[in-house]
Homo-oligomer: A and B are copies of this chain.
Amino acid sequence: MASQSRTPYTILGCLTLQPMSGYDVKQFLERTLVHFWSESPGQIYPTLRRLEEQGLAEGSAEPGQRGKEKRVYRITDAGRETLQAWLRKPAEPSQPRYEHTLKLFFGHSVGREASLAHVERLRRRTEADLAHYREHERELAEQAAKEPDSPAPYWLVVLRGGIQYSAMALEWCDETEATLRALPTQSADRRPGRASQSDREDEE
């Protein structure tokens, strides 16, 4: 451990749900956490090995559904302790880097039309995400109501976060579109290769 990679904890978290192979972990993350967290195979398989070496998980060979046999890991008591200790520690603040934010920030260099295009693309993506989240919301809410001690409520609050984020983003798209449309068109004249007036002077 001792590293600040969150992959081992993510995997341990998956293993608390049920014993899983690397493939199972990958599938589970892709189906439930995609938009909130993801891990690549190049991380998952080596990490599972390491978890076993450290006694945090135990692997056993089991026949796969088709193809090769599966190597199924189950979490150990030590693994549960390690996971819980990490889960209790404050989360590191994360500063995400949204490329569309960066492109908009420097939008003055290309003018409103190009910037509006970014907003529209973001809107379409966000609408698709939102529709996707809404589908899952009902399922999870039912599961949370039925099973008394299931992890569903925790998954639901995360999903609600995604829904609220998307709704916020769509409102921001509306507002931004209006703001940009209200701008004078002159900055749209900054065609590629043409320096802006204020920068020309001692150039060339």
Contacts and interface: CB of A to CB of B under 8 A. Distances in A.
A3 to B, nearest CB: 14
B91 A121 contact: yes
Nearest to A114: B88
Nearest to A148: B184
A165 B176 CA distance: 14
Copies of this protein in the assembly total 2
B99 A91 contact: yes
Interface in A26-54: 33-38
Q: Classify the interface of chain A: helix, strand, loop or mixed.
A: helix
A44 to B, nearest CB: 15
B161 A81 contact: no
A101 B161 contact: yes
A104 B179 CA distance: 36
